[in-house]
C-alpha cells in the first residue's frame, strides 16, 4: 500500500478563478426595509395610511366642565338672541389725537443718495483690524501664476507672436555711410522765379487824405433864378481839323 496522501496526480495549486466555497455569505438575512407597518417602510413600495389611538392629554384632565348647570342669559332663546334693542350708558371716550402728517417741504429726496437713486458701487480702504494684525497670509501679488496670453501658456497652442522694435542706426540697411545731407538741408528756390508769379497782397495802415479847411457854400447860397438863359444845346456833326471839308455841291 502506498504511503502518499495525494490521490492520483493531483497536487495542491493556486485556483485559476474564484471559488464560491472560499467565501462566506450572510445567508438569507439581508438588511432590506420592511413592507409592513408605517415606520421604516420601503420607499419604493406603496404605503397605506396608518391610524393609532393616542393617550389623553394632561390638559384635558385639568379642565373640569361645569356640567349641565349653565347661567343662560335671559335674552337667549332657542333660535338665538332676542331681537329687542338693548342700550347701555358708557363714559365718553377720549378724543383720538390727530395724526400729524409731514408736508411736502419736510422731505429731502436729494439727500437720499444711493438709497433712492441708482449709483455705482463704492469701496473704501481701511486699516487691518486687531484680529488680522498677526495674519501672515500672502497677498494676491505673492502668487506667480502662469500667464494666459502669449507663448508661455502651459498646455495650450500659441499663435505666432510679433513685436515692434526701434530702428537701429548701426549696421542696418538704412545706415548712411556717406553722411549725405537730408531734404531739409537744401535751399528751396521760389517758384516765382521760373513760373508765373502769383499776385501778392499785403496789409498796410490806412492812408488819411489831406484835410481841406476852406469854407464851402451850402445849398442855400445858390440862386439859380438869377442865372441868364444860355443858348440851347443841339447835336451836330463832329469834325476833325485834319479831315478835308465836306463837299456839298458837286461840280460837273
d(CA 250, CA 252): 7
Residues 166-217 pLDDT 10s: 777 777 777 777 777 777 888 888 888 889 988 888 888 877 777 777 888 8
Percent of the chain with pLDDT over 70: 76
Residues 75-109 pLDDT 10s: 888 888 887 887 888 888 887 777 788 888 888 88
Give the single-character DSSP code of 41: B
Q: Is there a contact between 171 and 177 (Cβ–Cβ < 8 Å)?
A: no
**3 state SS for 86-123:** CCCCCCCCCCCCCCCCCCHHHCCHHHCHHHCCCCCCCC
Residue 17 grid coordinates:
478563478
Closest to 151 measured CA to CA, from 143, 141, 164, 161: 161
Residue 116 grid coordinates:
433712492
Residues 13-72 pLDDT 10s: 888 887 777 777 666 666 788 888 888 888 888 888 888 787 766 655 555 666 666 777
3-state secondary structure of 22: helix
d(CA 69, CA 59): 22
Q: Is there a contact between 42 and 34 (Cβ–Cβ < 8 Å)?
A: yes
Q: Is there a contact between 37 and 50 (Cβ–Cβ < 8 Å)?
A: yes
Q: What is the pLDDT of residue 1?
A: 46
User: CA-CA-CA-CA torsion for 67, 72, 78, 84, nearest 10 degrees?
Assistant: -170
d(CA 107, CA 116): 13
Residues 115-169 pLDDT 10s: 778 888 888 887 777 776 676 777 778 877 776 776 767 777 777 778 888 777 7
d(CA 63, CA 60): 5
Residue 233 grid coordinates:
444845346
pTM: 0.15
Amino acid at each position: 500500500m502506498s504511503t502518499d496522501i495525494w490521490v492520483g496526480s493531483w497536487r495542491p495549486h493556486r485556483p485559476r478563478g474564484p471559488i464560491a466555497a472560499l467565501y462566506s455569505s450572510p445567508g438569507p438575512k439581508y438588511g432590506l426595509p420592511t413592507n409592513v407597518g408605517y415606520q421604516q417602510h420601503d420607499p419604493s413600495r406603496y404605503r397605506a395610511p396608518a391610524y393609532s389611538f393616542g393617550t389623553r392629554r394632561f390638559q384635558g384632565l385639568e379642565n373640569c366642565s361645569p356640567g349641565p348647570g349653565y347661567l343662560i342669559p335671559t335674552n337667549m332663546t332657542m333660535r338665538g338672541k332676542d331681537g329687542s334693542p338693548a342700550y347701555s350708558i358708557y363714559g365718553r371716550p377720549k378724543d383720538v389725537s390727530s395724526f400729524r402728517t409731514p408736508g411736502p417741504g419736510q422731505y429731502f429726496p436729494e439727500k437720499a443718495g444711493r438709497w433712492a437713486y441708482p449709483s455705482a458701487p463704492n469701496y473704501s480702504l481701511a486699516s487691518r483690524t486687531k484680529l488680522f494684525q498677526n495674519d501672515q497670509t500672502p497677498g494676491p501679488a505673492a502668487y506667480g501664476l502662469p500667464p494666459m496670453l502669449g507663448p508661455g501658456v502651459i498646455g495650450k497652442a500659441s499663435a505666432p507672436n510679433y513685436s515692434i522694435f526701434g530702428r537701429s542706426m548701426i549696421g542696418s540697411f538704412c545706415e548712411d555711410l556717406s553722411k549725405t545731407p537730408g531734404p531739409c538741408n537744401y535751399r528751396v528756390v521760389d517758384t516765382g522765379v521760373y513760373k508765373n508769379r502769383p499776385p501778392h497782397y499785403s496789409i498796410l495802415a490806412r492812408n488819411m487824405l489831406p484835410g481841406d479847411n476852406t469854407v464851402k457854400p451850402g445849398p442855400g447860397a445858390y440862386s439859380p433864378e438869377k442865372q441868364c438863359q444860355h443858348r440851347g444845346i443841339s447835336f451836330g456833326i463832329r469834325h476833325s481839323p485834319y479831315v478835308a471839308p465836306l463837299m456839298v455841291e458837286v461840280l460837273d
